Amino acid sequence: MTTRSQVLDFIREIIEEVKDFDAEITDATTFDELELDSLDYVQTQIEAKKRFGVDLSPELFSSGKIINVGQLCTYIAEQASSESVAVSP
């Protein structure tokens, strides 16, 4: 089972890999504050798929459904949990 804490650690790692962000990354940190570009979003999508089996469509971000790190962590944790339930015998 994927915990929200695991996802937050993962998101922090990814952002630190792609950005030089000096401030602490918290649930309230917005993607505007992180100044992610399209390649950063793609990298995050790829890594989330590899690590948690969760697809992150670009519409989640462009529609404003997910605007900060906390919302992204919650989404990934919920999707990963529902995927693991769906695959369990």
pLDDT at 87: 42
Supply the range of the domain harboring residue 26: 4-83
Give me the phi and psi of 68, to 5 degrees please. -140, 170
Confidence of residue 84 (pLDDT cuts 50, 70, 90): low
Per the domain annotation, does 77 fall within a domain? yes
Per the domain annotation, does 88 fall within a domain? no
Confidence of residue 1 (pLDDT cuts 50, 70, 90): confident
The per-residue DSSP string of the chain comes to ---HHHHHHHHHHHHHHH----SPP-TT-BHHHHT--HHHHHHHHHHHHHHH-----HHHHHTTS--BHHHHHHHHHHHHHHHHHHH--
Number of domains in the chain: 1
Q: Could you tell me the CATH number of the domain that includes residue 71?
A: 1.10.1200.10
Per the domain annotation, does 62 fall within a domain? yes
Looking at every residue in the chain, the average pLDDT score rounds to: 88
